[in-house]
Chain A
């Protein structure tokens, strides 16, 4: 699976959009981009995933560049409860790996009042 690079920490004001970048310059054509988050001392929570098109759900939007070498997770109106570590994961789907995920160190997002 391709490696990802994320900034170690970011800050955001409550109510503003939080834009979390991820670099995955070695991504292959069959690799998906997944985002998870982990609130302190809890299990990670799935947010969103995509292959090459932009995606949106009730939690966030995922913007993937045309060359697929980077992506941005957007939380449109950040709240204090969005303070967490956000993980960007690149994963290939095949029969041997199944749903294996490789977590890096992620980005600590702190939403300030």
Chain B
């Protein structure tokens, strides 16, 4: 089955620790995205990558870092500099044609920092 996987589904960390969230896709999509969602709110864009070895900051990049060394993978690191990291994190991918706004989302990782 083609799709996007995120692991783990639930993640707990102590305050002050960095944590890396995994996102893998086998859809052969060029573009990948990370969003954050807080309770009762819409999604906010953290980082996005339109091609391997390139990525851009979204609207709330502070305290986060990413890498895009492989087409299939776009891991997100939540650093200790992120002041309020507890949230639901969603990864998405899309084909490259700029006219396509159709993004495919993974199931999400719910991060809780204690």
Known: A43-B92, A93-B98. A98 touches B31 (CB 8 A): yes
Q: How many A-B residue pairs have CB under 8 A?
A: 68
Whether A45 sits at the interface, judged by CB under 8 Å, is: yes
A interface residues (Cβ-Cβ under 8 A, vs B): 32, 34, 41-46, 49, 87, 89, 91, 93-95, 97-106
| A93–B99 CB distance below 8 A | yes
| B43–A99 CB distance below 8 A | no
How many residues of chain B are within 8 Å of chain A by beta carbon?
30
**B6 CB → nearest A CB, Å:** 8
| B90–A43 CB distance below 8 A | yes
A87 to B99, CA, bound (A): 19
Known: A44-B90, A98-B98. A105 touches B104 (CB 8 A): no
For B84, what are the chain A residues with a Cβ–Cβ distance below 8 Å? none
| A87–B31 CB distance below 8 A | no
For B103, what are the chain A residues with a Cβ–Cβ distance below 8 Å? 44, 46, 99, 101
A78 to B104, CA, bound (A): 23
A97 to B98, CA, bound (A): 8
